[in-house]
Amino acid sequence: MLGIGLKVASVFVFVGMSSIIKGAEGVPLGQLIFFRSAFALIPVFILLGMRGQLISGFKTNRLGAHILRGCLGTTGMILIFFGLMNLPLPEATTIHYATPLFIVIFSAVFLREKIRMFRWTAVVVGLIGVIIIMWPRLTFLESDAGMMSPQTLGALSAFTACMISAAAMLTVRNLVKTERSSTIVIYFSLVSAVIGLATLPFGWVALSIEETLILIGAGIAGGVGQILLTESYRHAELTTVAPFEYSSMILSIAIGFIVFSEIPTIEMLIGGTIVTAAGLFIIYREHRLGLDRAKARKLSSPA
């Protein structure tokens, strides 16, 4: 129950952070990335300092892998933020549910993992759900402007972010074999903050004190959310807490309606339900396969 509670808390924090990003109209993406990443390090450093692990958190022999993960993650974050700025909050949130689907696809293609028909079916059904969510936005060409509308670009950006995020997660899978979770978080935030800071010459905007504090709060919230998420995995199995990620759809619908006056479309509700069901089925299959592998190891081990 503690693990589930921490997971749900992380969902609330991340959706709140996304709402702040969505409301930051006129602030360049690079500037948002810097605040989100640099100030996320504050709660992480505080926690590691309390545990006496601050110095060891920087120790690594795989700096190149951390930089690659940071570049992929930051690219995905940029695309996610762009989607948030140009789509209703519930739609941007539910489109991102396609990330686990691409993890399955990339695991089969690049890692040669054996994926059976049940999970492939869930992936196809889930992608159909995502297309249903995006369909009203895929107008591609505006009749009067002769170019893609912002909502079309936002939908395509959010969808592309799922693929980039899935690739980043595969690098994390590799990193966790030798690296601490704290080390992965630190270097990701550092790389992302540096990339965001590098956009300063391209035109950051002057912020009021209130706007600065709000963006700092968004960054701190990102760090707190990451800590809550990591801690949830310490107290419960991944397959136990993962389904609660989908509570973000309900929360984003509520915040979208109350804060941004966004009414969810019927396509978003239908597609969101489909992709959520597909994601839950994949989690269930992963859980069953894990039990089967554990049983096989137990039977094959010497008495």
Mean pLDDT of the chain: 87
pLDDT in tens, 240-278: 777 788 889 999 999 999 999 999 899 999 999 999 999
State residue 239's pLDDT score.
64
pLDDT in tens, 233-244: 777 776 677 778
Least confident among 7-11, 129-133, 142-146:
142-146
Can you tell me the distance from the alpha carbon of 283 to that of 119, in angstroms, rounded to the nearest whole number?
Answer: 9
State residue 246's pLDDT score.
86
State residue 75's pLDDT score.
96
DSSP-derived secondary structure for the chain = -HHHHHHHHHHHHHHHHHHHHHH-TT--HHHHHHHHHHTTHHHHHHHHHHHT-TTGGG--S-HHHHHHHHHHHHHHHHHHHHHHHHS-HHHHHHHGGGHHHHHHHHHHHHS-----HHHHHHHHHHHHHHHHHHGGG---S-TTTSS--HHHHHHHHHHHHHHHHHHHHHHHHHHTTTS-HHHHHHHHHHHHHHHHHTTGGGT-----HHHHHHHHHHHHHHHHHHHHHHHHHHHS-HHHHGGGGGHHHHHHHHHHHHHH-----HHHHHHHHHHHHHHHHHHHHHHHHHHHHHHHHHHHS--
Higher pLDDT, 151 or 194: 194
116 Cβ contact list (under 8 Å, min separation 6): 285
State residue 81's pLDDT score.
94
Mean pLDDT of the 205-225 span: 92
Q: Exposed (0-12), middle (13-18) or buried (19+): which is 35, by Cβ within 10 Å?
A: buried
**Banded pLDDT at 285 (limits 50, 70, 90):** confident
Q: Where are the domains of the chain?
A: 2-300
In order of 63, 73, 108, 212, the CA distances from 70 in angstroms are 10, 5, 23, 24
pLDDT in tens, 74-113: 999 999 999 999 999 999 999 999 988 898 898 888 888 8
**Banded pLDDT at 303 (limits 50, 70, 90):** very low
Higher pLDDT, 167 or 25: 167
State residue 216's pLDDT score.
95
State residue 198's pLDDT score.
95
